[in-house]
Amino acid sequence: MSIQPFDKIPGFDKAGIDSMMKSVSLVAKTNQTAGTEMADFAKQSFEHGTATMKKLAEAKTPQNAMEIQAEFMKASYERLVAQAKLVGTLYSELAKEMAKPLEEMTKAKFPTVG
């Protein structure tokens, strides 16, 4: 008779703990990468905004100022969409990696028929 309360929990063995630690490591790595990407994005956004303000200060006509502003808005939107796609891809890949051990466990318990 075992007195260990965790003996009855499936997957609570060395492989389960290793899988959990790998998942924690993947989350930390992905969060670090996403944080770095977001910091770079913020820096680039600030630089882009500063450059645009300089251009606006040098604008000769209201029409020219509107063109500069429209160009800024379009470029900012495109950069934001690209950044969102990048971060989305990072977390999508994280989810796929974290699901792999679960897939292996379900394959082991429920063999395919056919």
pLDDT per residue as tens digits for the range 74-109: 999 999 999 999 999 999 999 998 888 777 766 655
According to DSSP, residue 10 is labeled T
Sign of CA dihedral 69, 70, 75, 79: positive
3-state SS class at 112: coil
Q: How many residues does the chain have?
A: 114
| Predicted confidence (pLDDT) per residue in 6-50, tens digit | 555 554 567 667 777 888 888 999 999 999 999 999 999 999 999
Q: pTM for the full model?
A: 0.70
According to DSSP, residue 5 is labeled T
Q: What is the pLDDT of residue 12?
A: 56
The Cα–Cα gap between 48 and 40 comes to: 12
pLDDT at 5 over 90: no
